[in-house]
Structure 1
């Protein structure tokens, strides 16, 4: 059973059906980012949990709804596992302008109420421990290596993106202030380079003004997204607040050299000199310099791309799912039973 925030009225008809029960609880839009909704505690939560009688409670990025979930798990004496996915404190700083310390206090309370917290990267795990969260384990994300594959590279797509044969540098992700896509401005000025931006969000209009040379494609999904990834030459990730960086991993699976900030989740994914380049966070000039190096050296691009693909082939969702099941078994065994859970390659 999944308990999730109700969608907005404009998207309610798009949620589709599921092969498992889904209980929707009231939700509100996140302040200054209405596309993200926060689930609210509801009497439905307690009733659904009791009726379903689960063996384990899994909290996905708990904050409001998750706080009630961890409390109910404690009341029902159910093992509880919390997954840290979103840097809520950074969002508070970016969108509200205050509340970072308050957010961390609240997160610490929630996560310390769980039997185990899973962090997606070594950086996220270190942040949690530094802010007083206990029982932190590493659980990285998987990637669909069948969908995201260098073989999906398509010359007609490349011709449409860069009619003059430019080297194509891509960004894929939400267009929001904290993603710092504006840092691609110096890269847009490089000769022989075409910047392609895939995604949507509240910052799109401002970014189109700031990056007039870039091609904005909007959101893409499924096979279309995979074909776009594989048809790029270089992937540039700009956000400094990523707990993991799933699009970085999808780019690696697509055989692309990656340029990313030397902070957060990308530090675990990008190996400088092997599959890409790490640059100082929030430094657009450094991103452009790294792109220029790859423009000038096709052999380096090819070597990085081959290593990128090879490095993620063991990180399938099946392997990562098995790892999660081992974490479930560990919390079911109880706190007195040490259980080692291997991390997917």
Structure 2
């Protein structure tokens, strides 16, 4: 299979979109498929896993490179002649990629991963949120299939009038993120720093931005015997630092690879704070690490946290409920262990290999549907 991946974000920018695109490319390479990548020009490598990476001009918006439409996109696609186009979190560049694929008769799969409407609402531009949904609908209406990561995202897009939807989650590295990391030297050293007197470590991992609402951890002020560990960076760091001032808290900055795995393993509880998460990959990584998770009952975490089994889902707008959920776990070490073990079991079937195999199935489906449409045969005649 020949796959053209058009992504709004790629290396060296590190975020959820880049990570999932790299995992997909890893899988395509290992399975012997051919691929190319088209992404914003922000220092991207010339190739990845042997696949050529093409870049288009970009501008920076809130530290994010935004790829600009460019006539080069259609020429690249025409020359490569893909069987399918994969549009990762499509915005301006992805919209052009989908449109170009349609002109070339190439089926496309759009992966919904960034809540643009929620992002604009969070940054205080309500009218822009309405316009953003119109833009999202226009982009995704051009795709043969839109893959959504959660039931909440499915409901949002369906409510916005977008059809041809299917669920596709994200995988998690069960080897890198493992409960046994707790006994590694790097983890022990970090535990000594975060919990010198046996404090219960409550951790957060992710971007520190307005929509992540990390400052809500300030509601834990006064809980005895705790220490907060914040992993990540972003424009909202000063706000969070002010909100947590005087609390036992350590800001560890952005971490990756083994250092990130050691950070998860040094936590006792994982706290997720944002209410507009389309999926919640860090929740899966925490569960893989054997941690109980406390998260709002909104967005992606609804599908990832089994309330009362492997963590708690609290009322999204209620900081007192967040505090009560964390407090219950702080006070009960056996409960933390039981929920952490349940969380690990919950993600055992969510390897990147399995979810990428599922993605290949979606590719095959849209390719077949296009072929059937051209031949005048309905998919119902084939699938029943």
Query: Is 312-321 or 287-296 further displaced after alignment?
Result: 287-296
* 2:162 corresponds to: 133
Instruction: Give how far 1:15 is off.
Output: 4.7
Question: Which residue of the other structure, out of 22, 25, 30, is the alignment partner of 2:56?
Answer: 25
Instruction: Give how far 1:266 is off.
Output: 0.2
Instruction: Give how far 1:308 is off.
Output: 0.3
CA contact (8 A) 1:260 1:278 kept: yes
CA contact (8 A) 1:180 1:282 kept: no
* 2:261 corresponds to: 226
Q: After the TM superposition, which residues 279-298 of structure 1 pair with which residues of structure 2 at under 5 Å, given as runs? A: 279-298=314-333
RMSD (Å) for aligned C-alpha atoms? 1.5
Question: Which residue of the other structure, out of 291, 300, 307, is the alignment partner of 2:342?
Answer: 307
CA contact (8 A) 1:175 1:203 kept: yes
Question: Which residue of the other structure, out of 184, 189, 195, is the alignment partner of 1:162?
Answer: 195
Instruction: Give how far 1:148 is off.
Output: 0.5
Aligned equivalents of 2:45 and 2:108: distance in 1?
27
Question: Which residue of the other structure, out of 274, 280, 293, is the alignment partner of 1:245?
Answer: 280
- The CA deviation string for residues 116-142 of structure 1, in whole angstroms up to 9 with x for no partner, is 000001110111101000110000110
Question: Which residue of the other structure, out of 185, 190, 205, is the alignment partner of 2:218?
Answer: 185
Aligned equivalents of 1:202 and 1:175: distance in 2?
7
CA contact (8 A) 1:330 1:337 kept: no
Q: After the TM superposition, which residues 329-340 of structure 1 pair with which residues of structure 2 at under 5 Å, given as runs? A: 329-334=364-369, 336-337=378-379
* 2:243 corresponds to: 210
Question: Which residue of the other structure, out of 275, 290, 294, is the alignment partner of 2:310?
Answer: 275
1:120 equivalent to 2:149? Answer yes
Instruction: Give how far 1:165 is off.
Output: 1.4
TM-score calculated relative to the size of structure 2: 0.84
Mind listing any 5+ residue stretches in structure 1 that lack a counterpart? 341-345
- The CA deviation string for residues 58-95 of structure 1, in whole angstroms up to 9 with x for no partner, is 11111111111111111001111100001000111122
CA contact (8 A) 1:81 1:114 kept: yes
* 1:80 corresponds to: 108
CA contact (8 A) 1:187 1:195 kept: no
Closer, same or farther: CA 257–22 of 1 in aligned 2, 3 Å: same
* 1:93 corresponds to: 121
CA contact (8 A) 1:149 1:253 kept: yes
Aligned equivalents of 2:47 and 2:160: distance in 1?
39
Query: Is 103-112 or 205-214 further displaced after alignment?
Result: 205-214
Question: Which residue of the other structure, out of 296, 299, 316, is the alignment partner of 1:261?
Answer: 296
Mind listing any 5+ residue stretches in structure 2 that lack a counterpart? 1-35, 371-377
Aligned equivalents of 1:16 and 1:50: distance in 2?
19
SS of residue paired to 2:379? coil
Closer, same or farther: CA 152–16 of 1 in aligned 2, 3 Å: farther
1:148 equivalent to 2:177? Answer yes
* 1:49 corresponds to: 77
CA contact (8 A) 2:74 2:101 kept: no
TM-score calculated relative to the size of structure 1: 0.93
Instruction: Give how far 1:39 is off.
Output: 1.1
Aligned equivalents of 2:58 and 2:122: distance in 1?
21
Aligned equivalents of 1:199 and 1:260: distance in 2?
18
Question: How many residue pairs align between the two structures?
Answer: 332
1:71 equivalent to 2:113? Answer no
